[in-house]
């Protein structure tokens, strides 16, 4: 790697936010992944844009991650720069609307669970479903995150994004083209900087009670005690991936330390020191056996980056 590039990258990032050969297993909820050449957490938007410009100048690949909750990083790591937008860009603002609703403006780096609890504390309803989702708000907008009958699509008014050319602009609700686990943001490779949600005032106790109920249901039904990347497969039309996997007799199916959860077959869990290669092999086996069993193709929901 170019020494001048590394020096300039460290100058932009600051020593506290700049790491070399950083193990990515420390930054994914799967607790899997080899080292990234460079790992940085930008302090502000201008620094973030500077880093991207520098990477382009030196033709160094870069990857944007949030909380690493829907991510599998290859065992050989990542060549280039990983930029983490989590626990940064966390500003939240509130604007009362004439019709009684409240526009909540949130930075991309705030955890969705933290945002859901913050708006609940203010007596705002609509985001209860998201209190247990481990990703960032930016990631949630990008993939139209959802759970328990709720999804970002039903709440979002706009998102401000950064294009690959370095332009910043705002997309309204319709422009975002939010569908099941996808959006125009994914399609175009945009980076979410902030977004606006329209929420309704409600009874604070009822809102918090709903969050507690959903949290209890998650603990009961999902393998939260193990590292994972959440739902491993997208929901095929007319089916549930977990049910298809269970029907194929794969509950507890294991490759190395990667295992189909016995609590919820839609999750692949790390029961020890799983490698990315274990997860990939297991997922390929699951896809093949589910198709043999049901004739249904299932596709990964987990994002995979790096060298496998």
Q: Top-level CATH class of 224-305?
A: alpha beta
Rounded Cα distance, 82 and 40, in Å: 6
Q: Top-level CATH class of 92-217?
A: alpha beta
Over residues 119-147, the pLDDT tens digits come to 999 999 999 999 999 999 999 999 999 99
Residue 85: which of 64, 106, 112, 71 has the closest Cα? 64
Tokens of 87: 């626990």
209 an active-site residue? no
Q: Which of 231, 235, 261, 303 is catalytic?
A: 231
301 an active-site residue? yes
205 an active-site residue? no
pLDDT at 166 (0 to 100): 86
Residue 161: which of 145, 175, 144, 182 has the closest Cα? 175
Q: With the C-alpha atoms ordered 232, 269, 75, 141, is the resulting torsion angle positive or negative?
A: positive
Over residues 213-233, the pLDDT tens digits come to 999 999 999 999 999 999 999
Over residues 8-53, the pLDDT tens digits come to 999 999 888 899 999 999 999 999 999 999 999 998 989 999 999 9
Is 34 in a helix, a strand, or coil?
Answer: coil
CATH of domain 3-84: 3.30.43.10
Q: Which of 22, 31, 181, 303 is catalytic?
A: 181
The overall pTM is greater than 0.85: yes
Over residues 50-96, the pLDDT tens digits come to 999 999 999 999 999 999 999 999 999 999 999 999 989 999 999 99
């Amino acid at each position: 790697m170019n020494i001048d590039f590394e020096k300039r990258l460290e100058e932009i990032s600051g020593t506290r936010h700049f790491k070399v050969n950083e193990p990515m297993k420390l930054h994914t909820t799967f607790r899997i992944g080899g080292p990234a050449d460079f790992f940085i957490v930008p302090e502000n938007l201008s620094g973030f844009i500077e880093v991207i410009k520098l990477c382009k100048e030196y033709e160094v690949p870069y990857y944007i991650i949030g909380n690493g909750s829907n991510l599998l990083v290859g065992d050989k790591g990542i060549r280039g720069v990983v930029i983490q937008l989590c626990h940064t860009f966390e500003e939240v603002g509130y604007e009362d609307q004439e019709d009684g609703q409240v526009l909540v403006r949130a930075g991309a780096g705030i955890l969705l669970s933290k945002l859901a609890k913050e708006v609940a504390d203010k007596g705002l309803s609509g985001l209860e479903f998201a209190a247990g989702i481990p990703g960032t708000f930016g990631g949630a907008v990008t993939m139209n995150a959802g759970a328990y009958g709720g999804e970002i699509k039903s709440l979002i008014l706009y998102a401000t994004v950064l294009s690959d050319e370095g332009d910043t602009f705002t997309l309204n609700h319709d422009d975002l083209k939010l569908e099941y686990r996808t959006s125009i943001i994914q399609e175009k490779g945009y980076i979410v900087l902030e977004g606006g949600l329209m929420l309704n005032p409600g009874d604070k106790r009822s809102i918090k009670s709903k969050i507690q109920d959903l949290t209890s249901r998650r603990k009961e039904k999902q393998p939260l005690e193990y590292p994972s990347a959440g739902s491993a497969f997208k929901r095929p039309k007319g089916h549930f991936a977990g049910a298809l996997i269970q029907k194929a007799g794969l509950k507890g199916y294991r490759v190395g330390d990667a295992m189909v959860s016995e609590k919820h077959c839609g999750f692949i869990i790390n029961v020890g020191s799983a490698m990315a290669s274990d997860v990939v092999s297991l997922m390929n086996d699951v896809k093949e056996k589910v198709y043999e069993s049901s004739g249904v193709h299932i596709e990964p929901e987990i994002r995979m980056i790096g060298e496998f």
